[in-house]
Amino acid sequence: MRTVRTVADLRSALAPARAEGRRIGLVPTMGALHDGHLSLVRAARAACDVVVVSVFVNPTQFDDRADLTAYPRDEARDAALAAGAGADLLFAPSVEEMYPHGFATTVQVRGVSEPLEGEQRGVGHFDGVATVVTKLLLAASPDVAWFGQKDAQQVAVVRRLVADLGLPVTIEAAPTVREADGLAMSSRNVRIAPEDRRRALALKAGLDVAVEAASGGDLRAAEQLGQQWMRVMRVDPEYLALVDPDTFAPAHDPRRPSVAVVAARVGDVRLIDNLPVPALALETR
């Protein structure tokens, strides 16, 4: 596997494959790779001829400077894991490469970016995500890009971005990978204090309760039950909501599929998770 650090070198490295009509896959990451990331790399490897993994801790999507500073970074480890999972190229640009002096452009996706994570982290969070994803897609010009379903709202923002701008790339979302105890894999999990680890399972437990309760047809009551269950486990949710998977507006029709999403702080670590909510087959009379 080869590591490149500039957009020019990335495009040069991909030029032969592109000229031959080979299929290029991109897996954008912020590093600190875990099995969730590696599942994306393996999916890209199975579907593409050339696989690019980007590692860039994007400062513009952090609303909390302390969170940015604490974000784990170990490029050598990431490179070894990416290569082992089948990556051909590691794109590891500097902040100056991605945001050169005088950079003055922001990509904003309205609507889907505004509720939930947008409310909790501020409008700048998804502006930062949309801007850096646009830059990565333009730099690599992949045929397919893979994202993790754990960041469900981010996936919806990226899909809207690609559709609105007419970017010639397919967006694939791979299922959430979980640790043995059910906690969704995240680079932030290593920062959970040992005494808080059991409480962190409240996110998945709350989702399970909400999804099960949604089978009764009352989606708002399902949300409330999930929230109550989390509080029993001594975790106060920032939100636990059942939403439309495309717009992230509140879901209202139990006959349509939705997604249960949750966010909460456990100790000093902010975690998110989600589960699909199947459509309810209601009898019509």
Annotated binding site for beta-alanine: 61
Binding site per annotation, positions for (R)-pantoate: 61, 154
- How far CA 186 is from CA of 33, 71, 142, 149, in Å, comes to 9, 11, 25, 12
- Exactly one of 37, 101, 125, 252 is catalytic; name it: 37
Output the CA angle 15-21-22, nearest 5 degrees: 80
Contact 88, 51 (CB under 8 A): yes
Helical pair 75-85 and 35-47, crossing angle rounded to 10 deg: 40
Contact 273, 203 (CB under 8 A): yes
Per the annotation, the verdict on 101 as an active-site residue is no
Closest by Cα among 262, 261, 212 to 237: 262
Binding site per annotation, positions: 30-37, 61, 148-151, 154, 177, 185-188
**How many CB atoms lie under 10 A from the CB of residue 273?**
25
Would you state the torsion angle of the CA atoms of residues 50, 56, 58, 62, taken in this order, to the nearest 10 degrees? 110
Closest by Cα among 53, 120, 122, 56 to 84: 53
Q: What is the DSSP letter of 177?
A: P
Closest by Cα among 19, 28, 24, 76 to 55: 28
* Tally of CA atoms within 13 A in the half-sphere of 87 that contains its CB: 29
Binding site per annotation, positions for ATP: 30-37, 148-151, 177, 185-188
Question: Residue type at 3?
Answer: T
Closest by Cα among 246, 258, 259, 256 to 282: 256
Contact 52, 142 (CB under 8 A): yes
Please list the active-site residues. 37
